Amino acid sequence: MVVGDFPIETDTLVIGAGPGGYVAAIRAAQLGQKVTIVEKGNLGGVCLNVGCIPSKALISASHRYENALESEEFGIKAENVSLDFSKLQEWKGSVVNKLTSGVEGLLKGNKVEIVKGEAYFVDDHNIRVMDEKSAQTYTFKNAIIATGSHPIELPTFKFSDRVLDSTGALNLKELPEKLVVIGGGYVGTELGTAYANLGTEVTILEGADDILSGFEKQMTSLVTKGLKKKKVNVVTKAMAKGVEETKDGVKVTYEAGGKEETVEADYVLVTVGRKPNTDELGLEQVGVKLNDRGLIEVDKQCRTSVNNIYAIGDIVPGLPLAHKASYEGKIAAEAISGQPSEVDYIGMPAVVFSEPELATVGYTEQQAKDEGIDITAAKFPFAANGRALSLNSTDGFMKLITRKEDGLVIGAQIAGSNASDVISELGLAIEAGMTAEDIAMTIHAHPTLGEISMEAAEKALGTPIHIM
């Protein structure tokens, strides 16, 4: 091993180049800091390489295929529709490559030094970066830890060629005829739906009473209904017990309704959560405190228990969302630069690319009631929107949560087509302190799905036009 003779000095050192780390590095560089970013894998982290982006590419392709097969209602009949799965995977890879190369260009354009290797804290101002051939010490004034997370492996479902994590499920060389998904959270539901669209026979095993437990029942029931239409077998209150692997597939054993059942498939996908990447960083060397879940404790500026070390993303408390990591990365970089920036998660959206899509921001109706807030919950259906009708996508609704005393928008939930895009307007409304009247008086283009926000606001005011 070749060892660097002298430490390399930098102002801010970022560990991890995912959506939290690379954004933090760029913002810190914009604010005049000399920045070094360390990444042991590919730039872009899980999100760009094996998470958000490739999964949405797969979902998008699955919609294209499904539409090609099922457009007779529009008078469009396609014959001999076929799927070249290897070509689909090749296209998905090209999307990933464009984005990861774009991240590299952005970092270099902002004069961020990119270092490949694994980082280990020596003390609160020095880290050791190692790869297979060399090691180098870096001395920093401040550090931002953005190392992300990895899939949880169940003791009875060890990952293998047939027992997959999300990365494995996204990189299959062949389209499975049958797939079992353990876990009906957002990853399991999204990937299960995508493969069902492509023709795979899918079974989802969920231990809770319902899939997508973080969302309201009236929202998830629409997703469950859609999955049943695709002939996806959703088994709730199911406990996965074990797997028997064969040369050509798997046999999964689970318990549901007091009975032990088995289901055979080509593969089993395990999506039961993620674990923070906080091991093997040397955090104990510098006294960075973790909570009982292994997450790093931080203040409102993302500062850890060590004054000059910050942490963001999946390794700190909160939902494991890429946009949350990016947001926290900006806050940490600004705090290091002496700005009074602090996190405020009230406008943080969460989205599931299910069918229909689900999105939420701010308070839900129940959360507001639990906190004793007197609210109006105004619900407007997609079926009453012209654009939704023209898209033949009328399942769903928007629910706008406003404070009754002044009409302040404090939350919104959407289940329906393009919910992932429409939710941004409501996030802006919450962040800007807008009222239902502000949204209602904003002229929305017609015909668009965005009009649903205006219609829900008008209903909150008691003056709806397109619904009784």
Q: Which residues are catalytic?
A: 446
Q: How far is CA 119 from CA 39, 136, 324, 423, in A?
A: 8, 10, 23, 38
Which residues are bridge partners to 309 per DSSP?
143
Report the interhelical angle of 21-30 vs 322-336 (nearest 10°). Answer: 30
Distance separating alpha carbons of residues 408 and 430, to the nearest angstrom:
8
Distance separating alpha carbons of residues 281 and 215, to the nearest angstrom:
34
- Region of 287 (left: φ > 0; alpha: ψ -120 to 50; beta: rest) is left
Q: What is the chain's percent helix, strand, coil content, to nearest 5?
A: 35, 25, 40
ω into 340 cis (within 30 of 0): no
Strands (DSSP E) contained in 174-246 are 178-182, 201-205, 233-235, 238-245
Direct distance between the N- and C-terminal alpha carbons of the chain, in angstroms, rounded to an integer: 75
Q: Name the nearest CA neighbour of 25 among 144, 172, 189, 194.
A: 144
412, 423 contact by CB (below 8 A): yes
Rg (CA), the chain: 24
Distance separating alpha carbons of residues 267 and 155, to the nearest angstrom:
17
Which residues are bridge partners to 425 per DSSP?
none
**Residue bearing tokens 């040397």:** 282
Give me the sign of the Cα torsion angle 319, 198, 183, 242.
Answer: negative
Angle of CA points 323, 211, 316, to nearest 5°: 35
**Residue bearing tokens 């008086």:** 441
Instruction: Provide the b/e sequence for 200-213 (b: ≥16 CB within 10 Å).
Output: bbbbbbbbeebbbe
Amino acid identity at 82: S
Q: 127: how many CB neighbours lie within 10 A of its CB?
A: 27
